[in-house]
Structure 1
Amino acid sequence: MELRLLGPVELVAGAGPVDLGGPRQRTVLSVLALNKNRVTPVARLVDAVWGATPPSTARSQVQICISGLRKVLDGAGAAAAIRTKAPGYLLELDDAALDSARFARMVAEARELSAGGRLAQASGTLRGALALWRGAALTGIDSDVVRRDAVVLEDHRMAAEEERLRIDLELGRHEEISGELRALVEAQPLREKLHSLLMLALYRSGRQAEALQVFRRARTVLVDEVGVEPGAELQDLVRAILNRDPALGVPETTRAPVREPVRPAPAAPPSAVPRHLPAGIADFTGRDMQIAEIKDLLSGDRDPFAVPIVSIAGRGGVGKSSLAVRIAHELGDAYPDGHLYADLREPGEDRTPELHARFLRALGVPGTAVPEDRRERAEMYRTRTAGKRLLVVLDDVAGEEQVLPLLPGSPSCAVVVTSRARLSGLPGAHRVDVDVFDVGHALELLGRIIGPDRVAAERAAAVELVDFCDGLPLALRIAGARLASRPHWRIGDLVRRLGDEAGRLDELAHRGIELRSNIALTYHGLAARGQRLFRLIALVEAPDFPAWTAAALLDIDVPAASEVLESLVDAQVLDTVVYPGEHEVRYRFHDLIRVYARERLQERETDEDRHEALTRLLGAWLELAEDAHRQEYGGDYTVLHGDAPRWRPPGRAVPVDPLVWWENERRVVPAAIRQAAAAGLDELCWDLALTSVTMFEAKGYFDEWHETSRLALELAERAGNDRGRAAMLYSLGSLHLAQRRLEKAEECFAEALTLFALQGDDHGRALVLRNAAFVDWLRRDRAASVRKYDEALDLMRAAGDRIGAAHVLCNLARIRIDEGAESGAVHLLDEALAISRHAGCLRVEAQVLYRFTELHLQADKIDLARPALHRVLRIVRQIGDRVGEAYALHGLGLVRYREGRLDNAEATLAHALVAARGVGELFVEARIRFTLGEIAKAKGDGQAAQTQLVDAAELFERLESAVWQAKSLVLLSEIHVAGGDADRAREEAERAARLLPGPAVA
């Protein structure tokens, strides 16, 4: 009996394949097989079968599937069984009966043979392993969960293929494999390793010029399709070929075997083995069962395709970190490639890019080679950890979202995570709960700190001390430290002190451990200005803050405030942090210190003092946000401001790079808006919220956009601030428009127009009319759209909003393009482009250039559209406009489609789809799927075209885009005609006709 996953999923027993039943049973069996001999939770099976929308009967239907599969296995006489084991099911199956397990075992055997110098046998073993594949992994299973595992299997397949080719090169088979490598490069043009192997094979075959041509083609593909230069390995190799480096020759047969392709020495020195672990504690106590359990898991047999993960959970101070560090040190020899460690205690703060960069540097990647793009960093991190035996310790994480991006790329690695929460969402993680000490272990720890004789002499008092500490190791350590530093104290003396519940936390503090009495002692040792700043910093609700924050709170200049801040750092009540790519030091409180600071704030500062300090702080955020907006747009364009007081730190320069400033303050600015709302600062709240749309819109931060605008609107309504209400209705309407919720957008714009008119605010009316006109255009009401655009243009010019006027001109040009009035569109776009370049507004320049490309494409002027789109792509990446990047990539995909480069167009559109989905930009996602459907139709792949077009039509329907929905349906009708399904073709055509009762527009 054999269960096969490396191709179409099938069970073979006796004379041939066995009927596995319907799609659900096949999906359930696939998931169980991928997790064989381990418990698969029912929740994972439900997710695999139904995704995010399971029926209420999902669990019972899974039970039915399990029952059916058991009958199939029994009927086939299969040497496998499905066991019920909480919280799910377990498939018992030998490795020999699963082709994916046999493949993994053979690959591992080949690597051992290669390491031992038996290259010919290693190559043969790898060929045998690859022969197990019958096509794409897990074919026929329509499940996102299974599809993700299939991608992992395919990656292992390609890694084995590359390993086999590398070995064949070492065996001198370069001429034999050149043709095979060419075919693989054509099929996988973005895998740099294949290009490297082909170049080496050609060079050794005496074909140096062809090898260099391979590099040129590789660079063209990488730059055109992904926008990156070739990596260091390819660039080093091409230099070695140009220099005819002797190291590129075929290795001597007597030479010691190597594991990597022969290539010139890397530019960077070999990486040291990272050893990031903190020191273990000498008085570590107990946890023997947990240590044995975790060590067994991390050093015993394991799933050949899954990274083993241990999740240690328990309350704060229970010793999770000490346990994790202890285990990591004890397993040092089992993970010879080193340890990576990260403390992730900051809740709600996404430190993934920073940690990827730090880990990559530790693994030997030069700092200059660490990619800026977070996805590329993640990919490089997984690549660098592949094949290594590396232990990663992630300490004090808040949730699964912090862990998943930091998982290594190879099952030979392992991960230990500590958290106060049980991380049930980590797939396949082995959970270990850590509780407080029982009396025996607690007394043992106390004895290690103060001496066992001292504990034995006062055992009853020691037990009482354990009770007061609730068995919590952190509290015991503090109590023990106090007793150790005072040998003349009896244990009973401290017990009597702890008997006063009101002062218990004051007693449980010792020499820098963060409990109340220690904070109080430090606080009282500060100078008067330091104490006041300590109290006022409690007003800051952001996770960290720059030095000028102290200046705003104290109403002094930044240098003087920095001196006070440093006194708090010296007193260890503040931490400093510098993020990668930043030069400015930032500061942050520990949570317990913040609690104490808030107590002192309420006790010492009057209501008036607190209000004035908060107003200065939030006014400074508003001032800097305005600076960033002005640099982005070339002035106070496309935005409104109120009369809330600003506070500019004396000597503080405006943000040098608004993109970097917005990104750095992404968490802080929304927190400031929330504080303004909570404090009732309505004018400041709506102004900061509207100015922040600069960041939210370009980055696709729609949740923050909605939350902050809604908060400011509710506050403005309570305060009777009609202009603030109008501004926030305009902001929310713009958000609804960006997400194509047209009815809600219209409602917001109508009310905002009325309020702005009552206020006599023509600039506000112009901004609303500009966006309301776009709603009319989407609804195919050309006349209404043009009227509103014309009125908005007049009002923009009267208000001096040059960029707003340029934006209106750009949109009017769109209407001219739709009408086929090319010359009129060009005139409007030329004027808009001149305005945006004169103001230095790259964002609007990119939008105007993109509109030019639409004009060029409509006129079939591909040679003009292509360079314009490349310019647009450079701009949006430079300014961090993620939404604009999705549009630009879609435009490039269209150009390549029009050029007849269908495969290149598909690859580019795949990148565009990832970009669009990353920012939740549904309209461009739908347009991309429509174009992918057109390409699939052109290639004769009716099924793929139908899938893309159905998805596109559904998205257009959600977005109320009748024209594009109708276009999708018309194309679907044509596909059904080609497939001979006249009834469905007629149905789709009739639906399209109902959507467009009048003449369709482009």
Structure 2
Amino acid sequence: MGPLELSHGGEALDLGGTRQRVVLAMLALNANRVVPIEQLIDAVWDTSPPTTARAQIQICISALRRVVGNTGGTMAIHTRAPGYLLEVADTDLDTAQFAGLVASARAHVNADRLSEAVATLRSALGLWRGPALGGLHSERLRREAAQLADARLSAIMERIRLDLALGRHDEVIGELTALVDEHPLRERLYEFLMLALYRSGRQAEALELCRRARATLVEELGIELGQSVRRLETAILNRDPELDIPSAPVNHGVSHGPSSTAPAEPSVVPRRLPATIADFTGRQAQLDEIKRALSDDEETGSRYGTRIVAVSGKGGVGKSTLALRAAHELRDVYPDGHLYGDLGSPDGEDRVRPVLTRFLRALGVEGSALPDDVEERIDLYRSRTAGKKVLVVLDGASSEEQILPLLPGGPGCAVIATSRAPLSGLPGAHLQDVGVFDVDRSLELLAKIIGPTRLAAEQDAAAELVTLCGGLPLAIRIAGARLASRPHWRLDVLVARLRNSVRRLDELSYRGLVLRSNIGLSYQSLSPVARSLFRRFALITTPDFPAWTAAPLLDIDPFDAYEVVESLVEAQLLDTVQYPGEHLRYRFHDLIRVYATEQLREEPEEDRAGAVTRLLGAWLARAEHAHRKEYGGDYTTLHGTAARWERAAELEEIDEIGDQIEWLESERRSLVSAVHLAADYGMAEACWDLALSSVTLFEVKSYFDDWRETAERALATTEAAGNRRGRAAMLYSLGTMYLFHTRPVDAERCLSAALEIFEEEGDDHGYALVLRNAATADRMRNRAAEMRAKYEAALERMRRVGDLVGEAHILQSLAKVSIDEGDADRARGLLDTALERFQRVGYLRGEAQALNRFAELHLMTNEVEQAHTALNRVLLIVRDIGDRIGEAHALCRLGVVRQRTGRLDNAETTLQHALSIAEQVGQRVVAGMAHHSLGTIALARGHLAAGANHVDAAYALFTELDSTIWRAKSLILRSDIHQARGEEQLAARDLEQAITLLGKVHSVEATRLREELERTYGSAIFR
């Protein structure tokens, strides 16, 4: 407990930067529970997150997973919608250990084992190493840390209370003095210290401390000392013998007089009333009557019995609203507290026991002191309310039997109970019947909802509307809410719809609340197709979803499905949510989602499976369509045989894809969920096809966590189903992802297995795609001959299957080989062909990649201006399509161009930007190249310390990536820096290492570097 630390085997692990530490702290504070990504963003950036916040959180999670992986498998970070979950055993979490020890101490106290309790609390407090989460500056974590600090202080105070009970007053005086100085507004600490001083024969000091406490509270808070402290002061003045140490110490936290081992707990005054509404309307006469019945005037209430008002009326008439308004206006009449209990239960559950338990806890009864027997709880409740003036609101009672056990015990108490049926069986109750509104009161309520100006413009329509609502306040609120949510509607539009008595309840469908009974009433009022959609929306596990998904779920026309979705919104069974720049989306309230899931289980299995098949078919068709728009056709991907929903093309009419990457990004969580849904239903073909189609987004936007999650789930599903082609496709996908992470060994493992399966299945396209990437893995591992052979073989197959984009990718990769070999003419020819292929199909990202490679060629041939022009075009493209990886590459190369032309300031700024983006999207090669160039600039300026930092970072990255040429380049640059510092031996050592590395590589680039070294140092350095 204290500053954040993750250790393994007694060694503290490096958690990285502040952001990663904040993220890990949030996950640890909510261990084994899902932490929404929005909360992680709030914790890291408070109220001003950058636009890249989500991507940066994902980067932090990836980094933390590597750190957590070093703990020997004792914990793990999982992706769980809508965020992440840290799986960790309680024994590995010090907060859980602390809570467990405190609970054990409480058990010792209950068993009169005070010494054991003190020892256990000391062990718990010994876990603390300093301020909770010290060094992490985050408003959300500050609040969490405050709660931990409060728990620590509570444990300290309990331990001191027990020490006093054991007669250890001399031992705690010093500690208490420090605690009072640290927490000058904690009256309980003053009480403990006063008692300890008095028992130590220091009566005058104890009384002086009391005067100091009084002065502090008056000055800081403007309040007088509590009764408990004042009682203790009086007892000290009188040298009350009950303050002496009792022979049999009291072991409970609540004192009963000055003879207790610790001062009495302050009186508990519960304030549990829900808020009252601001637009309370039309019930003033009933409100005044209730207030008169429950006032403190002896003429209007019983002197000896609990005052009771029983409010009854039909559902939706406003009984609860009236009862709560009356309770709030009677707050001052009942100063000892206000309790609220909801007795309504749609499934017949007995609510008396849980409400009674909540009441007792509100009245200060700790969990360990709660009797198991309900009759004993009732007796304790009556005892706690005896002699007090407490107001109790019991809402939604079904009978008098529910009310009787919850009547408080004091004659000064009062109860307001609501029920649809009159509670005439309650002895002495004042019965208050609530009827519907007349027209004037109805119009008054409607005006408060939609505004008086709008109502005045259509007075006749408004009068007819409230008449059609039958004067029922809930119905008027529903109608008003619909109008308020649709300001473009005239009132007579809704009136016309309400005139149809058959559809009236469908129109008045905003009755859904969070409790099952009310949800059920709304659900039953829906049309059968709406009920079906309500159930089937529970198949979608993302926090929100688009309206078009209703069409495949119901297998109906998209426009008709949209109207069904709107009917659920009108019933308040669905909420709407609008994200900036995105289409309107829909979501369940959490409790409503539970109800929908329950109803889904009642639907026949074949109907559910059919809905899932159509939904996945629609997602497949839409993702496939987005890929075609991005790539210009079905290039560089594979598809399975899972059925597409036959009416998917019609979805464009209500939800046009537009920019395909933006559309895919808006549906990212839904696509991930769809992959899991397909896996859950054993639909392997749809599962792998969706996972591979989603790579179009994951690759461009660097959503590597999603990429891994979906590919691994689909791989497991295809393996279980014996789907060999799907398994090969997922191995290919994972291998490609490993290439992006510059992990060629892992990539080769996946790609080799995929190659074997595709060859056995006779899938030329799949084989060509995998072979292309296998060649890239060879290039990363400096295996030139194998790389060239695979590229040539893959190119032949790509042309055979007609994959123009795949062909162009290989051509530009071969162009890179030619550039490295110094063959500019061959490279130019290959790039011309690749660029023509990309432009022919309209694949902008590919065009940017080819132009970027052209810029490299121009730099090799000293055509600096042409390189600059090409890179400017690249930046326009990648920024327009949101390709962050492409932007990192382009900026890095542009920085080199600006460095080459002597514009060092511009070059440094550009390279720093490239480095930042590369680190965000996990492009370690680009990050290393940027560090290398920044080191070169720093050396040119004479900033040797900064240059050394950059070159060390570059060398570390290229060593990790096993890039021999770039390691050698970094060593040569570091040698130059040592030389500039006069560190001749270090310079010679780095140069010798660089020469050794270059001797292991047979390439044009290695030869060029050796020649440069020979020109600089002479041929003797190679001996």
**Looking at CA atoms only, which structure, 1 or 2, has the larger radius of gyration?**
2
Aligned to 1:56: 10
Cα 1:146–1:732 shift into 2, 3 Å: closer
**Equivalence for 2:834:** 832
Change (3 A) 1:446 1:845: closer
Contact 2:931–2:951 under 8 Å retained in 1: yes
CA displacement at 1:539 relative to structure 2: 0.7
User: Residue 641 of structure 2 is aligned with which of 626, 643, 654?
Assistant: 643
Structure 1 segment 40-189 matched on structure 2, within 5 A: 42-43=2-3, 56=10
Task: Tell me, in whole angstroms, the C-alpha distance in 2 between the residues paired with 1:563 and 1:807.
Answer: 46
Verify: 1:426 aligned to 2:141, yes or no: yes
Of the candidates 911, 914, 924, which is equivalent to residue 912 of structure 1? 914
Query: Aligned ranges for residues 222-621 of structure 1 at < 5 Å?
Result: 347-348=36-37, 426-427=141-142, 431=146, 441-442=269-270, 445=273, 456-457=306-307, 467-468=354-355, 470-471=357-358, 480=395, 483-484=417-418, 486=420, 488-489=422-423, 512-582=512-582, 584-603=583-602, 605-621=603-619
After superposition, the C-alpha distances for 1:636-691 in whole angstroms (9 at most, x for unaligned) are 00000010111143522262110210110121111111111122111111111111
Partners of 2:354 and 2:21 lie apart in 1 by 50
**Paired letter, 1:831:** T
Q: Provide the C-alpha distance between the structure 2 equivalents of 1:908 and 1:428, rounded to a whole number of angstroms.
A: 39
Which residue of structure 1 aligns with residue 893 of structure 2?
A: 891
2: CA distance, partners of 1:528 / 1:632: 40
1:626: which partner in 2?
Answer: 624
Counterparts of 1:481 and 1:937 in 2: how far apart (Å)? 78
The alignment of Structure 1 onto Structure 2 pairs a total of residues equal to: 615
**Equivalents in 2 of 1:981, 1:684: separation in Å?**
63
Q: How many Å separate the matches in 1 of 2:897 and 2:393?
A: 68
Q: For the structure 1 residues 703 and 678, does the alpha-carbon distance in structure 2 shift closer, same or farther, using more than 3 Å as the test?
A: same
Summarize deviations over 1:726-776 as a string: whole Å, max 9, x none. Answer: 111111111111111111111111111110000101111110111111112
State the Cα deviation string for residues 400-436 of structure 1 (Å, max 9, x = none).
99xxxxxxxxxxxxxxxxxxxx99962577646999x
Q: Tell me, what secondary structure is at the counterpart of 1:586?
A: strand
CA distance in 2: counterparts of 1:682 and 1:736, whole angstroms: 23
Conserved? CA contact 2:971–2:991, under 8 Å? yes
Tell me the TM-score normalised to structure 1 length.
Answer: 0.56
Following the alignment from structure 1 to structure 2, what is the Cα–Cα distance between the partners of residues 465 and 848? Answer: 73
Q: Deviations over 1:87-112 (max 9, x none)?
A: xxxxxxxxxxxxxxxxxxxxxxxxxx
CA distance in 2 between partners of 1:699 and 1:147 (Å) = 21
Distance of 1:959 and 1:931 partners within structure 2: 18
* Contact preservation (8 Å) 1:926, 1:955: yes
Change (3 A) 1:479 1:917: farther
- The CA distance in 1 between the partners of 2:593 and 2:20, in whole Å, is 46
Partner AA of 1:787 in structure 2: A
Output the CA distance in 2 between the equivalents of 1:788 and 1:524: 64
How do residues 725-744 of structure 1 correspond to structure 2 at under 5 angstroms? 725-744=727-746
Residues 356 and 377 in structure 1, CA contact (< 8 A), matched pair in contact too: no
Q: 1:715 aligns with which of 702, 705, 717?
A: 717
The whole-number CA distance in structure 1 between the counterparts of 2:751 and 2:881 is 29
Q: Deviations over 1:772-822 (max 9, x none)?
A: 111122222222211111111111111110011111111111111111111
Correspondence for 1:851 among 828, 850, 853: 853
Give the Cα separation in 2 of the matches to 1:975 and 1:473: 74
SS in structure 2 opposite 1:43? coil
Code of the residue aligned with 2:3 in structure 1: it is A
5+ residue gaps, structure 1: 1-40, 47-51, 62-141, 150-309, 315-344, 361-369, 379-396, 402-421, 494-509
Residues 897-926 of structure 1: CA distance to partner in whole angstroms, max 9, x if unpaired?
Answer: 111111211111111111111111111111
| Superposed displacement of residue 879, structure 1 | 0.7
Query: Are the aligned partners of 2:972 and 2:990 in contact in 1 as well (CA < 8 Å)?
Result: yes
User: Tell me, what secondary structure is at the counterpart of 1:758?
Assistant: helix
TM-superposed CA distance for 1:696, in Å, is: 0.7
Looking at structure 2, the residues matched to 901 and 845 of structure 1 have their Cα atoms a distance apart, in angstroms, of 27
| 5+ long unaligned stretches in structure 2 | 58-80, 86-136, 152-265, 278-289, 296-300, 310-337, 342-350, 363-390, 398-416, 428-509, 1006-1023
Q: Does structure 1 residue 868 correspond to structure 2 residue 870?
A: yes
The Cα offsets for residues 480-517 of structure 1, whole Å up to 9 and x where unpaired, read as 36644659337989xxxxxxxxxxxxxxxx96540111
Q: Which amino acid aligns with 2:686?
A: L
TM alignment of 1:984-999, pairs within 5 A: 984-996=986-998, 997-999=1000-1002
Provide closer, same or farther for how the CA distance between residues 371 and 917 of structure 1 changes in structure 2, counting only shifts above 3 A: closer
Contact 2:631-2:805 within 8 A present in 1 as well: yes
Name 2:702's counterpart in structure 1: 700
Q: Distance in 2 between matches of 1:947 and 1:377?
A: 24
- Higher mean C-alpha deviation, range 681-690 or range 643-652: 643-652
Matching residue's letter, 1:471: R
Map 1:699-848; keep pairs closer than 5 Å: 699-848=701-850
* C-alpha distance after superposition, 1:945-990 (max 9, x if no partner): 1111111111112222222122112221222233232332333234
Q: Which amino acid aligns with 2:850?
A: V
Q: What is the match of residue 903 of structure 2?
A: 901
- Does the Cα contact within 8 Å between 2:551 and 2:558 map onto a contact in 1? yes
Q: Once structures 1 and 2 are overlaid, which stretch shifts more, 986-995 or 629-638? A: 986-995
Q: Which residue of 2 aligns with 1:159?
A: none
User: Deviation per CA, 1:456-502, whole angstroms, max 9, x where unpaired?
Assistant: 43699989958526439999999536644659337989xxxxxxxxx
SS of 1:998's equivalent?
coil
Contact 1:713 1:724 (8 Å CA) reproduced: yes
Instruction: Return closer, same or farther for 1:948/1:491 CA change in 2, 3 Å cut-off.
Output: farther
Do the aligned partners of 1:963 and 1:1001 also contact (CA within 8 Å) in 2? Answer: no
From 930, 933, 944, the equivalent of 2:932 is 930
* Residues 965, 478 of structure 1: alpha-carbon distance in 2 compared, 3 angstrom cutoff: farther
Matched residue of 1:577: which SS?
A: strand
Task: Pick from 649, 673, 676 the counterpart of residue 674 of structure 1.
Answer: 676
Structure 2 CA distance for aligned equivalents of residues 447 and 817 of structure 1: 73
User: Is this contact kept in 2: 1:812–1:828, CA < 8 A?
Assistant: yes
Shift of the 986–447 alpha-carbon distance from structure 1 to 2, 3 Å rule, reads closer
CA distance in 2, matches of 1:823, 1:527: 71
SS at structure 2 position matched to 1:581: coil
Distance 1:439 1:762, change over 3 A: farther
Letter in 2 for 1:56: G
Once residues 789 and 1000 of structure 1 are traced to their aligned partners in structure 2, the CA distance between those partners, rounded to angstroms, is 18
Identity of matched residues, %: 46
The corresponding residue for 2:226 is: none
Structure 1 contact 439–466 (Cα < 8 Å) conserved: no
SS in structure 2 at match of 1:426: helix
For residues 788 and 540 of structure 1, the distance between their equivalents in structure 2, rounded to whole angstroms, comes to: 43
RMSD over aligned Cα, in angstroms? 4.4
**TM-score between the two structures when normalised by the length of structure 2:** 0.55
One-letter code aligned to 1:651: E
Change (3 A) 1:441 1:466: farther
- Confirm or deny: 8 A CA contact 1:849 1:869 kept in the other structure: yes
Once residues 969 and 655 of structure 1 are traced to their aligned partners in structure 2, the CA distance between those partners, rounded to angstroms, is 50
Give, in whole Å, the separation in 1 of the partners of 2:275 and 2:53.
49
Distance of 2:745 and 2:274 partners within structure 1: 67
Change beyond 3 A, Cα 1:468–1:798: same
